[in-house]
Structure 1
Amino acid sequence: MSLSNEQKGTTLEEMSKIIQQLNNRINTKRTQLAPIIRELRQLRQRAQELSQIHAEKKSAYDALTASQESQSIRLEQEVRTIREAEKNEESKFHYLTANLELLHIQQNRLQDEIRGYVTNSSHVALSSNKNESTNETMEKRKSYREIYTRKIAEQEALTKTLKQQQKSLLENEKFGLKQVNLWKNLIQLLEIKKITKEFNEEREKAGGDYANVTKMEKDRMLL
């Protein structure tokens, strides 16, 4: 009976020693890990800050990109509108040019008729009645000539105005296309800047904070 008690006592003492050793080792490891844990907390906080900064920058970039796309779409619509207006004005210009040519033909024909009447009037000067009739006819022809001349002048003025409008439309179209190209180039530059920024951030993380974390993981494995 006493031998059994002695064995139990010995076993309890050994267990107490083992437990004490384990506690000592745990405390030692805890002390060793404390700086690493603190550093990990700082890194975690830094990672959260960087994530927040990245989210803010991305939000600003997305807003800017959306604005640029909207501006580009608006400019493209303006260019299409200008082109349609140019086509309409060009069609009107060709129509008026054809009318002007027709009026020139009519004017030449009228002038030929007037010259014919003037020539004939020199051969009918013997009769006063015939002279009066010829004068009336000449007055009518003269009034017709004035009407046609006025119409031709109006058409020429309108044609000149249309030419100026066509020139203005062409200049506006070139400017609109230039603006569209500038916006597209700006969007491409922003995309490249974004990609470069993300690449630099990943590289810094891989060579900076991530390197410290990797080193600490190795230290923990050694412990």
Structure 2
Amino acid sequence: MQEMTLNKVNDENSRLQSTDELVDVLKDLNDKINDKKQTLAPVIKELRPMRQKCQDLQLEYYQRQQAYDAMAAGLETSAATVDNECQDITKQVHALESNQYFMECQLEVLKARQQVLDKEVNLYVAQESADDKSDSILHQVQSQLNAQQTEKERLKQQQMDFRKNETQHRKQLKMWTDLKTLLAIKQRCLTRDRERNAINEYAINSRPDHLVL
């Protein structure tokens, strides 16, 4: 019994000793924490405005990012509009170039015609000889018209002559047709006469016991 009491007393002393040690450790830790707080207090004081500044900078960044995104979208839309306008202008330029080329060609044609016209006018205004005017287009066209008129009159006269002689031609054609028919009939008659003569000759030269048709 006494031994058990001694053990309890020893355990209690050990517990008390451990508690004192823990108290000392905690006190030491609190002292260290307080020292650290005192050391870090100026740093924390300096960090507070820096933290506020960081928040302000972050807010400014977000605002500028939104402004940039809006500006980029607007620029993209403007770029697409400008690109479409450039394409339209390019098409208009090509069309104008084509029209210019066509008009230049027409102008060259008109210049050539003007040169021919000037030459014609000079030939007739100068009152030169007929031989000199033979090279003019008007003279050539007039000669062609005269030739066509002559040919037209010749064909017209030929047509009148043909109509005039048409009756005689028809009579001649009928006469030749009748002659052809008559010759055909005569040919058939001659053929038939030759066949009869052949039959009669056969009958004369045949023996009496043969049948004669």
Same fold flag (TM > 0.5): no
If asked which structure has higher relative contact order (CA below 8 Å, sep 6+), I would say 1
TM-score, scaled to structure 2: 0.43
Q: Name the larger-Rg structure.
A: 2
